[in-house]
Amino acid sequence: MAPVAPDSAPWLNPAMREPISPCNRVCRIDQRTGWCLGCRRTLTEIADWPMLTPAEKQALIDELDRRI
């Protein structure tokens, strides 16, 4: 993935130069999929978020876009 200028990426936190959390405060886990109904992450992905690198966070955000 090519670098993205902060001005052209609304998901990029300009102060930290990394993707912001996809959490939208709708925190309920779907028992069938194991995904949060708000952000579509698993509990493990939610817990790991603070420890991920910016590249790992972006990869996870890209994956979430494919979860329906």
Whether 6 maps to a domain, the answer reads no
Confidence (pLDDT) at 68: 80
Whether 12 maps to a domain, the answer reads no
Whether 60 maps to a domain, the answer reads yes
Reported as half-sphere exposure (CB side, CA atoms, 13 A), residue 53 has a value of: 3
Confidence (pLDDT) at 3: 54
Tell me: the pLDDT tens digits for 7-16?
A: 556 666 665 5
Q: Kindly state the average pLDDT of the residues 33-41.
A: 97
Full-model pTM? 0.74
Whether 49 maps to a domain, the answer reads yes
Whether 67 maps to a domain, the answer reads yes
Q: Given CA atoms 26, 31, 34, 35 in this order, what sign does their dihedral have? A: negative
Percent of the chain whose pLDDT exceeds 90: 72
Domain count, the chain: 1
Whether 38 maps to a domain, the answer reads yes
Q: How far apart are CA 45 and CA 47, in angstroms?
A: 5
User: Domain limits at 62?
Assistant: 24-68
Whether 14 maps to a domain, the answer reads no
Three-state DSSP at 13 gives: strand
